[in-house]
A = this chain, B = another copy of it.
Amino acid sequence: MSESPATNRIDPSVLAARLADERAADIVEALNEEAPEVAAAILVSLPHEKAVEVLDQPELEQAADIVEMLPRDRVGAYLSGMSADRVTDLFREIEEPGRSDLRARLDAETRGTIDRLSAYGEETVGSLMTTEFVSVPATWTVAETLAHVRQVERTRETVYAIFVLDPRTQVLAKSVPLRRLISGEPMDSVLSVAPGMRPLSVSPNASREEAARLISKYDLLALPVVDSVGHVIGIVTVDDIIDAMVAKQTEDVQRFGGMAALDQPYMDIGFLTMIGKRAGWLCVLFLSEMLTASAMQGFQGELEKAIVLTLFIPLIMSSGGNSGSQATSLLIRALALEQVRLRDWWRVALRELPTGVTLGAILGLIAVARIVIWQKAGLYDYGPHWALVAATVGAALVGIVTFGSMAGSMLPFALKRLGFDPATASAPFVATLVDVSGLVIYFTVALLILRGTLL
């Protein structure tokens, strides 16, 4: 056992006694402050049920390391008590040969479940579902069903949705909420308390977002996952969906900010990992932005003749970027909430075109006013052709903000059409695209307006 300072500070069994009456989520917070070997020692000293509940929390960091440090003769009992989805997630994180060793310590049923769940891709409903649900045949009475629920309650993730199966085909027929079941007449069929509609369900190969959408839209506590013939193979609970929503939101914010998603809290990430997650994207964006230098080189003749034009380059570029990122964030969200569908792209384009022109005209007017005021008030001398310079900046802003709004609104559609998550990459890409095009638009407008005077 390693001699970490935490181990010396306080005896794990004393800590365990102190923690035993706390809620699982609070114990997790305490364990997250400890080294894995200490956390494992504390877990072993907790009552078995409590330890299983703690291991079941997805918020437990370094759970894989902790499990590998649990005593070999007890680890099977812990893992068998946990919910199947959580054990499957854990197994994904444990490296060989530890994984095969642990797998061998599981009972055959748990092993089979984990093998099945592991087969689903990380972004699918299958990887989120668990197998501890309640189902009864449609021939049972309310009383029989309630007695069954009482009996299995402790070992089920949720008992608030009870799935009623066709007794012959085992196909899902109805979903009965527990609140309706307890109000039923004991001797009536369980079908007497079932709602009229066919139950909602989802395929294990659907995306996690699809399950989140259904649970959120229909205010469900649990959504059954059914295979192609209609057999219930698992459930997704509202807790899992909230956790998945929080994780997805974190990933989106980080991607939107232009970096690879971090899978650990900010303070726990090593320096080199942090550099790795951030440098990759920064370099890609930097290499794309190098096109701006190429564009500028192409206009060097104009730049030398009209230095005054360079003064407005940062202003014009940032306006294009801002209008583009507005439009992108708006459309990413509208697509995610299904307010807008792929086939609506032309309707969006028809809205963004006049919007962009109007916004560009507003900014253009402000820029013209600024140049006129500075010139007239003697704050700065934009040269003999200042009025034409003002017209150039104003007209370029109309063009660039329009282009930014159009590019920013269309890129999420393009990414989605190509099968990418629009949130993944849009904002930084729009900025780069608009920066380079903005320069070209600016100098083209300048050539049109200033040819024969400054240029």
Chain B residue nearest to A327 (CB atoms) is: B257
A428 within 8 A of B: yes
Q: A216-B243, A289-B315 are in contact. Are A259 and B326 (CB under 8 A)?
A: yes
A150 within 8 A of B: yes
Residues of chain B lying within 8 A (CB to CB) of residue A215: 242
Residues of chain B lying within 8 A (CB to CB) of residue A293: 311-312, 314-315, 370
For residue A140, give the distance in angstroms from its CB to the closest CB of chain B.
16
A217 within 8 A of B: yes
Q: A150-B183, A326-B257 are in contact. Are A314 and B196 (CB under 8 A)?
A: no
Residue tally, chain A, CB below 8 Å to B: 112
A133 within 8 A of B: no
Q: A267-B340, A292-B314 are in contact. Are A196 and B21 (CB under 8 A)?
A: yes
Chain B residue nearest to A246 (CB atoms) is: B216
For residue A189, give the distance in angstroms from its CB to the closest CB of chain B.
18
> Chain A interface mostly helix, strand, loop or mixed?
helix
B289 touches A25 (CB 8 A): no
Count this chain's copies in the assembly: 2
Residue in B278, B303, B325 whose CB lies within 8 Å of A355: B278
For residue A93, give the distance in angstroms from its CB to the closest CB of chain B.
19
Interface string of A224-249 (1 = CB under 8 A from B): 00000000000000110111011001
A259 touches B314 (CB 8 A): no
A342 within 8 A of B: no
For residue A346, give the distance in angstroms from its CB to the closest CB of chain B.
13
B322 touches A258 (CB 8 A): yes
Q: A23-B218, A267-B339 are in contact. List 4 more A-B contacts (CB 8 A).
A: A160-B178, A253-B333, A266-B330, A303-B310
Sorted nearest first, the 10 A-B pairs with minimum C-beta distance are A257-B329, A292-B314, A265-B339, A266-B334, A219-B239, A296-B311, A289-B318, A253-B333, A310-B310, A150-B183
